[in-house]
């Protein structure tokens, strides 16, 4: 059974309220040794990126419902070894217990209004490694990186960076400072200029974009702000198929076509639900498509 689509405001703005994760009938282990794009790894990493939105007692106090990230992870052979909270920026180290040896550094995406403000603060600033990057992303990254970097010195397994939305942007900044085994981002915005992009060319980076999701179109490219995307694009088309590195024209044409998931009774968009360019950004809808693609592959 694949994950259901959810086109509501709650799915978009409160992804941490979800309670069901890693829900496919035959749980296939991750393939950390495969540095090429892999639908198995994409699905696992999107579920980690979705799970990191879930807040616990240290963040919610009396509102915490008792379901911990580690209780979810324990059922699928992983554990959360460390959680980093920089105030505006949160991320975690997830390590395999009964799965093939691998370590995941997963960044949480946009979860508070101040993060949206950071997304709009889009002027470029110098990046110590190479080129220029988005000011707001750099500020949030520096909140937590020193503690993460110290922990990463103890890691001996292959390590993968991942994140949804802002989390994907932060994963790319981390890759620039300390290259990982590979990176998967989901619905991530542009992070830096061409020089920054070129500095990451030797790292396997896979960029997944869901159909009309608007966040990957941000910040907008202007004469003064020439930010670029980085990584191999895997685009989820209107009919749920995955297109590898499609042209801009192919994407523009596809985005004009009707999404068949919206005609199903359980997923039909109501007048008060978010527009499709917002709903397509919801983490659950990335997982829903990726779970269907994985089930077809097996």
Q: What is the CA radius of gyration of the chain?
A: 18
Quickly state the pLDDT bin for 56 (edges 50, 70, 90): confident
Provide the whole-model pTM. Answer: 0.94
Q: Report the pLDDT value the prediction gives residue 46, as an integer from 0 to 100.
A: 98
Q: Report the pLDDT value the prediction gives residue 148, as an integer from 0 to 100.
A: 96
For residue 89, pLDDT over 70 is answered with: yes
pLDDT in tens, 255-282: 988 877 655 544 555 657 778 888 899 9
Whether the CB-CB separation of 40 and 294 falls below 8 Å is answered with yes
d(CA 164, CA 187): 6
Residue 192's nearest CA partner among 109, 108, 123, 281 is 123
pLDDT in tens, 24-44: 877 889 999 999 999 999 999
d(CA 153, CA 135): 27
Sorted by where each starts, the structural domains of the chain and their CATH numbers stand as 9-297 (3.40.50.1820)
Mean pLDDT score of the chain, rounded to an integer? 89
For residue 118, pLDDT over 80 is answered with: no
d(CA 177, CA 189): 19
Residue 162's nearest CA partner among 79, 87, 100, 92 is 92
Q: How far is CA 96 from CA 12, 142, 176, 209, in A?
A: 29, 27, 24, 27
Whether the CB-CB separation of 27 and 291 falls below 8 Å is answered with no
d(CA 73, CA 83): 14
d(CA 114, CA 136): 10
Residue 79's nearest CA partner among 48, 35, 46 is 48
């Amino acid at each position: 059974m694949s994950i259901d689509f959810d086109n509501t405001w709650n799915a978009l703005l409160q992804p941490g309220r979800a309670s069901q994760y890693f829900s496919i009938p035959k749980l296939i282990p991750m393939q950390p040794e495969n540095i090429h794009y892999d639908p198995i790894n994409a699905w696992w990493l999107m579920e980690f990126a979705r799970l990191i939105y879930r807040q616990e007692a240290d963040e919610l106090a009396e509102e915490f419902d008792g379901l911990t990230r580690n209780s979810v992870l324990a059922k699928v052979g992983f554990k959360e070894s460390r959680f980093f909270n920089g105030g505006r920026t949160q991320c975690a180290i997830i390590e395999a217990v009964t799965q093939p040896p691998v370590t995941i550094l997963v960044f949480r995406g946009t979860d508070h209004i101040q993060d949206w403000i950071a997304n709009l603060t889009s002027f470029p600033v110098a990046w110590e490694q190479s080129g220029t990057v988005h000011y707001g992303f750099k500020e949030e990254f520096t909140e937590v990186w020193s503690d993460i970097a110290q922990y990463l010195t103890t890691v001996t397994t292959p390590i993968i960076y991942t994140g949804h939305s802002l989390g994907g942007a932060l994963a790319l900044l981390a890759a620039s400072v300390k290259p990982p085994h590979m990176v998967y981002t989901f619905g991530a915005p542009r992070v830096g200029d061409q020089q920054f992009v070129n500095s990451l060319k030797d790292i396997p980076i896979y960029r997944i974009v869901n159909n009309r999701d608007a966040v990957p179109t941000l910040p907008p490219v202007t004469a003064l702000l020439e930010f670029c995307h980085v990584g191999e694009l895997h685009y989820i088309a209107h009919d749920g198929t995955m297109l590898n590195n499609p042209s801009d024209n192919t994407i523009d044409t596809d985005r004009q076509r009707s999404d068949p998931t919206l005609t199903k009774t359980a997923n039909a968009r109501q007048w008060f639900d978010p527009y499709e360019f917002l709903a397509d950004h919801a983490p659950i809808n990335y997982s829903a498509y990726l779970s269907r693609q994985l089930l077809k592959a097996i």
